[in-house]
Structure 1
Amino acid sequence: MVAVFNKELLSWYLITLKLNETVEAGLQKVQNPTTATRSIELSQEVQAQRPLQVQKERHQPLDSLQVAVKDGTSNVEEGPKSPEPEWVISIREKLDHANQDDDAVTWSKLCIYRVPQYLREGDDKAYLPQIVSLGPYHHNKKRLRNMDPHKWRAVYHILKRTNQDIKLYLDAIKELEERARACYEGPICLRSNEFVEMMVLDCCFILELFRGAAEGFNQLGYSRNDPIFAMRGSMHSIQRDMIMLENQIPLFVLDRLFGLQMGQPDLKGIVAKLALRFFDPLTPTDEPLTNSDRTKLESSLGHTSAFDPLAELGGLHSLDVFRRSLLRIGPQPTPRIWVKRWSHSNRVADKRRQQLLHCVTELREAGINFKKRKTDRFWDVKFKNGVLKIPRLLIHDGTKSLFLNLIAFEQCHLDSTNYITSYVVFMDNLINSPEDVSVLHYYGIIEHWLGSDAEVADLFNRLCQEVVFDINDSYLSPLSQQVNRYCEHRWNTWRATLSHKYFNNPWAIISFVAAVVLLLLTLAQTFYGIYGYYEPHS
């Protein structure tokens, strides 16, 4: 059976086969001169035609052919395929990589993200650590290497205090390496040993800061003049770096190392409480509450015992723990549904395209009054009977970076609510000018350590410049609708105008009352004059 793919090549093969048979026959018996001469001429003719045949083969689009002879039967079979072009190989490698990335288990562990570029356009510096790097994203950057000797000092103090060997910590992190890598977005370009060393170094540094803030650095063996491990001016900058989204360490890694220090490897929950105490100075409210006020607050939330924001849900990292402590138990994390039916009433929109609320000046003209709400939950805004009650908000130089990183986490993490984002957008709508800030400051709602009210207004106007969120998924949307409906009633506007123009100070009130009395007397005099004309006394 013969499979023919190339007629010219087959012809060349048959001629060669015939020539070989003739040569073999000549070896067995004597050839005559004429036959030998013809054989040599035929061989030379075939050799002359061979280069031409090779050139034709180079232009053939088919794969190379292989000729096999078995049991006197000639077969033409398909040979090995030619290698694929490099660009095709590159595409196949990308598809294989995409197949590896498309793993639901891997994505479910992701919790420490790189801040998206569309958010960085507002203020890139707010997301980049300035003093200390934690984790792989900013590891070994030149401007942050000055903190490395202090990290090694923290490891030394821990080993000296616990009388343990460093290999105990290295082995523990080695076991958690794969799980820890899965928490970070994108590939981590660190070898296994480098990743483990970085984790041990950063975790020990964090734990020493947490314990020092709670127990005192002197108790841990540090000098009171220590440039890092002391509650000095640089500590505020370190806290601000440690709360950034790209500068996080998984909480379960910190739990493991802290448990080893305490002699209980499975110890959990203590690190989260230490983190809350360490980051307490960053809290955007310092409203002091009495015991009775706190009891009323807890009872309103349904708590009968001391409040613990981490009693039911474990945190992912320090930023997540701090965020949950700010929100308390009110906002419950619910999975987001990204694919929704498109409609005009339910759409994802940039906050600049949808004004949820008017500014403070416009609301006052429409009859809305403002009052400070006594609670330590800064996001818990209430509206009733024309009074907008807003908790006190403390603004300092770290507030902007804190809010931006909290917003970035809510934008990136799927199983997170948008409560912080909704609150910031709400405040941004209220504040459009320094005059709005001045009014809120007058009522005790905003307290700031910045240079002027204009800086506060600029801060809120820049916080959500590139943020996209669902306007119907905001917990403040119902409240905003109530406020807007109140402003639509003209009687409220007229009453507010009367109050602002004629009752804004005591002299205006006296003048208004005097004018009313004079008007009433004039009307009475006119009435009696007309009445006496038509009804004269007899």
Structure 2
Amino acid sequence: MVAVFNKELLSWYLITLKLRETLESGIPSSSPNSGTRSIELPQQQHQQKLQRAPSESYQVLLNQESENLQEETNSAASEWVISIKEKLEEACQDDVASSWTKLSIYKIPHYLRDSSGGDKTYAPQIVSLGPYHHGKKRLRQMECHKWRSINRVLKRTKHDISLYLNAMKEMEERARSCYEEIIISLSSNEFVEMLVLDGCFVLELFRGATEGFKELGYSRNDPVFAMRGSMHSIQRDMIMLENQLPLFILNRLLEIQLDKPDLEGLVAALALRFFDPLLPTDEPLSKSGRNKCESSFRTSTKSDTFDPLSDKGGLHCLDVFRRSLLQTGPQLTPRMWIKRRSNAHRVADKRRQQLIHCVTELREAGIKFKKRKTDRFWDIKFQDGILRIPRLLIHDGTKSLFLNLIAFEQCHLDCNNDITSYVIFMDNLINSREDVGYLHYCGIIEHWLGSDAEVADLFNRLCQEVVFDINNSYLSPLSESVNRYYNHRWNTWCASLRHNYFSNPWAIISLVAAVVLLLLTFAQTYYSIYGYYRSAQ
């Protein structure tokens, strides 16, 4: 019994030890006095993990954001490079596809438009021609009259509209190349329709001015197709640089209307007849010239066609009008690109555009002004102290006319600067209303404006921002001669004597009396001294 009892105790003792070892194996070993610390240690480790967790997660986020930012930067740089390459390819295509030598109808440069003091100088107010102002709201009223004109043409010629459309379709690419801007606002059909509509409208006006609108079938009370009412405003709009159609388009349409080919030059002749009222001179187109123009249109043959510019090939109506003004004028070498880009010859400062002194200063130097009898308003002469200037007529359309002519000379490289030279020369002469008044007294300037001050202001504003080369002006030699005469002191003294003592009869009598009195005083003094010495001897 004892042995069994001891065996059972031994079993319980062993089981107890095993249980103790099992329990102690789940608790970390520590010193005998670290019972409390064995409980606190897991809590401290948890707190340390909580403290380390934010910093580790923040670092992970930073790494992710940095990687994302790097990817976005690389993507943006790649897109930027791609966009630059696309622009270079587009520029290369434009450079290859564009022919700069064909440009003839330009947009007005912003520096000229801003200096003109308003948009009415360069933008049409009644009728639009070409794509630059096509479809503008204020110009839509004239569209119905354009359709009336083409309807009249079709009835008169018995033609089908497709004949004109097909002809313009063949010339579309050539016509588009004449404009400075790429016309993306008009589709191919819309552009061709515009050429036919605007071209026939222009030809009806040209033919009506020569043949008579009544002969073309229009009523004498027609609001547009009659030489009255708004015709002057229409002429002024049609001479603007941005409002032009290529001359070869008008030539082709007229050939179709008359059923005769090779009518080169006839449109130019009709244009000169139509724009005759805009000439800056009171000498209109001669009667013989009108008769010749009318007979040339009636015969409509190449041999009889009147075209003073046939050897030069006009680009558009503004170019034809300018060539007619200067057709017997000075011929200078056309400007080359390198010459235009040269800083040594570019003069934009108005103070450095001084060709000549003003009228008042020249008069003080003894220079006289006389009217030169010629219809070539630009043909100025100077000889023996006399400046002979042709008569210039100034009306309400003169400002717009000169500014558009100047803009064309500024934009077109194969064009001299004769009109610009003349305007700057007159700007130098005119500084005040007194200068205008004296030129008007001499018969050189005739104007329909309100006052002489308005004329002076007109010339002083015409060339404010114009790039001009004094050395490339046909008036430079004349200006040098005038300046040499002005700088000669003897001429100034003589002029001062005439101005102060010979300006009127009373001044001459006073001068003669003063001279006689001086001589008598000198004689009296002489004889008094002579008598004194003689008596002393």
TM-score range, shorter chain: 0.7 to 0.9
Q: CA deviation at 1:476?
A: 1.0
Using the alignment, how far apart are the partners of 1:481 and 1:307 within structure 2?
39
Query: Are residues 1:204 and 2:217 paired?
Result: no
Query: Are residues 1:161 and 2:156 paired?
Result: yes
Using the alignment, how far apart are the partners of 2:341 and 2:161 within structure 1?
57
- Secondary structure of 1:329's match? coil
Deviations 1:306-352 (A, max 9, x none): 99640321100000000001112323363313435999975534333
Q: How does 1:242-261 map to 2 (within 5 A)?
A: 242-261=238-257
Using the alignment, how far apart are the partners of 1:104 and 1:89 within structure 2?
22
Deviations 1:269-291 (A, max 9, x none): 10000000100100001147999
For residue 117 of structure 1, what is the aligned residue in structure 2? 110
Change (3 A) 1:439 1:172: same
Using the alignment, how far apart are the partners of 1:398 and 1:468 within structure 2?
23
Query: Are residues 1:95 and 2:88 paired?
Result: yes
For residue 148 of structure 1, what is the aligned residue in structure 2? 143
Q: Is the 8 A contact 1:347 1:471 kept in 2?
A: no
Query: Are residues 1:453 and 2:452 paired?
Result: yes
Q: CA deviation at 1:487?
A: 1.1
Q: How does 1:516-527 map to 2 (within 5 A)?
A: 516-527=515-526
Q: CA deviation at 1:138?
A: 0.3
Q: How does 1:118-133 map to 2 (within 5 A)?
A: 118-123=111-116, 124-133=119-128
Using the alignment, how far apart are the partners of 1:158 and 1:290 within structure 2?
30
For residue 99 of structure 2, what is the aligned residue in structure 1? 106
Using the alignment, how far apart are the partners of 2:341 and 2:224 within structure 1?
53
Q: CA deviation at 1:105?
A: 6.3
Q: Is the 8 A contact 1:351 1:425 kept in 2?
A: no
1:177 corresponds, among 172, 196, 205, to 172
Change (3 A) 1:366 1:207: same
For residue 389 of structure 1, what is the aligned residue in structure 2? 388
For residue 406 of structure 2, what is the aligned residue in structure 1? 407
Q: CA deviation at 1:188?
A: 0.3
Using the alignment, how far apart are the partners of 2:306 and 2:480 within structure 1?
32
Using the alignment, how far apart are the partners of 1:431 and 1:279 within structure 2?
27
Q: Is the 8 A contact 1:349 1:471 kept in 2?
A: no
Mean CA deviation greater in 173-182 or 340-349: 340-349
Change (3 A) 1:265 1:92: farther
Change (3 A) 1:158 1:333: farther
Q: CA deviation at 1:125?
A: 2.1
Q: How does 1:219-368 map to 2 (within 5 A)?
A: 219-287=215-283, 309-332=308-331, 334-340=333-339, 346-368=345-367
Deviations 1:458-484 (A, max 9, x none): 000110111111121111111111111
Change (3 A) 1:415 1:288: closer
| Higher percent of residues as helix | 2
- The unaligned stretches of length 5 or more in structure 1 are 1-54, 63-81, 292-305
Using the alignment, how far apart are the partners of 2:242 and 2:286 within structure 1?
37
For residue 75 of structure 1, what is the aligned residue in structure 2? none
Using the alignment, how far apart are the partners of 2:384 and 2:399 within structure 1?
33
Q: CA deviation at 1:522?
A: 3.2
Q: CA deviation at 1:386?
A: 1.1
Q: CA deviation at 1:500?
A: 1.1
Deviations 1:412-434 (A, max 9, x none): 00000000011111111111111
Q: CA deviation at 1:534?
A: 4.2
Change (3 A) 1:257 1:456: same
Q: CA deviation at 1:95?
A: 1.3
Change (3 A) 1:369 1:104: farther
Using the alignment, how far apart are the partners of 1:289 and 1:257 within structure 2?
26
Q: How does 1:466-481 map to 2 (within 5 A)?
A: 466-481=465-480
- Secondary structure of 2:399's match? helix
For residue 65 of structure 1, what is the aligned residue in structure 2? none
Deviations 1:236-290 (A, max 9, x none): 0000000000000000000000011111133211000000010010000114799
Q: Is the 8 A contact 2:369 2:442 kept in 1?
A: yes
Using the alignment, how far apart are the partners of 1:135 and 1:425 within structure 2?
31
Q: Is the 8 A contact 1:370 1:389 kept in 2?
A: yes
Q: CA deviation at 1:528?
A: 3.9
Q: Is the 8 A contact 1:122 1:465 kept in 2?
A: yes
Using the alignment, how far apart are the partners of 2:261 and 2:340 within structure 1?
48
Deviations 1:425-445 (A, max 9, x none): 111111111111011111011
Deviations 1:361-386 (A, max 9, x none): 11111111111111111111111111
Q: Is the 8 A contact 1:309 1:329 kept in 2?
A: no
Change (3 A) 1:343 1:133: closer
For residue 13 of structure 1, what is the aligned residue in structure 2? none
Using the alignment, how far apart are the partners of 1:523 and 1:327 within structure 2?
63
TM-score, normalised via structure 2 length: 0.78
Using the alignment, how far apart are the partners of 2:235 and 2:375 within structure 1?
21
For residue 485 of structure 1, what is the aligned residue in structure 2? 484
Using the alignment, how far apart are the partners of 2:258 and 2:175 within structure 1?
22
Using the alignment, how far apart are the partners of 1:276 and 1:337 within structure 2?
29
Using the alignment, how far apart are the partners of 1:531 and 1:525 within structure 2?
10
Query: Are residues 1:213 and 2:209 paired?
Result: yes
Q: Kindly provide the amino acid, as one letter, of the partner of residue 98 in structure 1.
A: A
Change (3 A) 1:380 1:161: same
Using the alignment, how far apart are the partners of 2:516 and 2:284 within structure 1?
48
Change (3 A) 1:205 1:527: same
TM-score, normalised via structure 1 length: 0.78
- The unaligned stretches of length 5 or more in structure 2 are 1-63, 288-304
For residue 21 of structure 2, what is the aligned residue in structure 1? none
Using the alignment, how far apart are the partners of 2:323 and 2:346 within structure 1?
27
Change (3 A) 1:230 1:343: closer
Q: Is the 8 A contact 2:335 2:415 kept in 1?
A: yes
Mean CA deviation greater in 337-346 or 169-178: 337-346
Change (3 A) 1:113 1:208: same
Mean CA deviation greater in 306-315 or 250-259: 306-315
Using the alignment, how far apart are the partners of 1:394 and 1:474 within structure 2?
23
